[in-house]
């Protein structure tokens, strides 16, 4: 079974730590991004999420990261855990980033 607990690192060098996943699949942790468009120093940011606890070990999951310590944006990630032939677990994710904009007419450019 996929175990999301622990440290994960992506191809860009961003790191995520997931604390223990509870029996319902809920978890918390922190995300340390390696990339940012803000001028403020990057800080570890809280995350909260949930995963399916599928018996085949290739669970889907999702989590939200609040970049409140250095930005006014929020990101959501969804993904699936895969076990490679050698037993290594790999997370494949997609994400959306919502940036704060000044007005409703600017809404079109707020989500990446």
Average pLDDT over every residue of 2-12: 91
What band does 6 get if pLDDT is binned at 50, 70 and 90? very high
What pTM was estimated for this model as a whole? 0.86
- Among residues 55, 35, 54, 53, the alpha carbon closest in space to that of 45 is found at 35
Has residue 1 been placed in a domain? Answer: no
Has residue 108 been placed in a domain? Answer: no
Task: Give the structural domain span for 90.
Answer: 6-99
Has residue 13 been placed in a domain? Answer: yes
Helix (H) or strand (E) holding 99: none
Q: 44-78, pLDDT tens digit by residue?
A: 999 999 999 878 777 999 999 999 888 889 999 99
Number of domains in the chain: 1
Has residue 106 been placed in a domain? Answer: no
Q: Which residues pair with 89 in a beta bridge?
A: 83
Chain center to CA of 33 = 10
Q: 71-99, pLDDT tens digit by residue?
A: 889 999 999 999 888 888 899 999 999 99
What band does 39 get if pLDDT is binned at 50, 70 and 90? confident
Q: Where are the beta strands (DSSP E) in 1-112?
A: 6-9, 15-18, 26-32, 45-51, 60-66, 74-83, 89-98
Q: What is the DSSP letter of 23?
A: T
Has residue 63 been placed in a domain? Answer: yes
- Here the CATH number for the domain that contains residue 34 is 2.40.128.30
């Amino acid at each position: 079974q996929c175990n999301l607990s622990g440290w994960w690192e992506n191809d860009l060098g961003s790191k995520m730590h997931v604390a223990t996943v509870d029996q319902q699949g809920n978890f918390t942790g922190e995300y340390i991004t390696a990339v940012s468009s803000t001028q403020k120093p990057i800080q570890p940011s809280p995350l909260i999420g949930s995963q399916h606890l599928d018996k085949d070990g290739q669970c889907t999951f999702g989590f939200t990261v609040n970049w409140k310590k250095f930005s006014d944006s929020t990101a959501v990630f969804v993904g699936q855990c895969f076990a490679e032939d050698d037993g290594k677990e790999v997370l494949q994710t997609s994400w959306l980033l919502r940036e704060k904009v000044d007005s409703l007419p600017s809404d079109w450019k707020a989500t990446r």
